[in-house]
Amino acid sequence: MKLLKLVPDHTNIHFLKWRVPFYIISLVLMAASWGLVLTKGLNLGVDFIGGQMIRVTFERSAEAPVSTLREEVGKLGYGEPIIQRYGKPNEISIRMKLPEGADHEAALADKMARTITADIKKNHADARIDGVDSVSGKVSKELGWDAFKALGLASLAVAAYIWLRFEWQFGVGALFALVHDVTLTLGLFALTGMEFDLNIVAALLTLIGYSLNDTIVVYDRIRENMKKFRKMPMPELLDLSVNETLARTIVTSLSMLITLVALLLLGPDVIFGFTAAITLGIFVGTYSSIYMAAPILIWLKVNPNSFVPTETALEKQERLARDGA
């Protein structure tokens, strides 16, 4: 059987030649992402800002009557609802702030949910209430803080691990690539206005783990080649390492994308945002392991001697004796 070869056997692409322009592009994209997050903001779900979210499916409609609903729910006296589609056009989530004083009197939040769901059912015969989430202000603050802590700690922990296994420059490089991936994903969420909830934080954490896979594979090869070719200049050595691992990088990324695209197109609609975040992250992660994580090693001046076992005094004596003889 003739096997499929996506990447020819001995590639010699000068990836690193383009490192400066790609770095500039990435830095600009990162800045743009932060700019979007700070100015437009993330569309935070009730998990992080508190409030109530009601999920509704309109079973016999092709499309949910969003503007009618907005008017109907708005008239109930609980303020303007945020109505958003997720997954299919007939599946929506309605988000509202909790009524004044609901932090002390839980019954108020209850009454609001009952009023709204009853009103929707009355006006739309095919409406199916799929779920109601009520999160108080206090709990949402904690959830937000926990998410922030988890993301921060995870990034630092994996960077520390890589420092431990490689050298500090590799740790910094991995951390940078990671921040790059997470930032661009956040940027996508700010740009598209997809809802940002607890599940997305889980996706980002997964991303931290998986986008690092590529980085580690490339780093592992760089370390190996540094031991093998001690005299080779860094840019050349990095190019060699990236080229050697290129086939694997492409095949693995494609494998992940195949399953993720299946999940994105056919999977549960409720986790569309979650899957989208991971898919983008995997894509960006592959790029960043080549163009962010590797070149930074040149600028941080990795020393090829770092991976050579240091000589003990005895070994030195023996070597000198051997050489002298």
Cβ proximity to another protein, 26 vs 52, nearer residue: 52
Can you tell me the distance from the alpha carbon of 17 to that of 30, in angstroms, rounded to the nearest whole number?
21
Per CB under 8 A, the segment of 24-32, 35-43, 60-68, 210-218 that binds another protein is 210-218
Task: Out of 112, 116, 154, 238, point to the residue binding another protein (CB under 8 A).
Answer: 154
- Pick the closer one to another protein by CB: 16 or 201: 201
- The residue from 260, 290, 294, 297 that contacts another protein (CB under 8 A) is 260
Question: Could you say which residues in the range 32-61 bind another protein, by CB under 8 A?
Answer: 55, 57
Q: Contact region for another protein (CB under 8 A) — 13-21, 104-112, 180-188, 311-319?
A: 104-112
Rounded to the nearest angstrom, the gap between the alpha carbon of residue 324 and the centroid of all alpha carbons in its chain is: 58
Query: Distance between terminal CA atoms of the chain?
Result: 57
User: Least distance to another protein from the beta carbon of 200, Å?
Assistant: 10
Query: Minimal CA–CA distance to 235: which of 247, 222, 248?
Result: 222
With beta carbons less than 8 A apart as the criterion, state whether 116 and 76 touch: yes
Rule CB under 8 A: is residue 202 a binding residue for another protein? yes
Residue 72 CB, nearest approach to another protein (Å): 20
Number of chain positions touching another protein (CB under 8 A): 80
- Scanning 15-23, 72-80, 156-164, 294-302 for contacts with another protein by CB under 8 A, the matching segment is 156-164
Closest Cα to residue 55, out of 44, 42, 45, 67?
45
Sign for the CA dihedral angle at 61, 64, 68, 74 comes to positive
Residues 127-146 binding another protein (CB under 8 A) are 128-136, 138-139, 143, 146
In angstroms, the Cα distances linking 153 to 42, 148, 215 are 21, 8, 19
CB of 99 to another protein, least distance (A): 14
Tell whether the torsion through CA atoms of 230, 231, 233 and 238 is positive or negative.
negative
State yes or no: residue 263 binds another protein (CB under 8 A): yes
The angle at the Cα of 75, spanning 71 to 76, to the nearest 5 degrees, equals 130
Taking the least distance from each CB to another protein, the nearer of 22 and 183 is: 183
Q: Per rule CB under 8 A, is residue 158 in the interface with another protein? A: yes
Rounded to 5 degrees, φ, ψ at 156 are: -65, -40
1 part of the interface to another protein, by CB under 8 A: yes
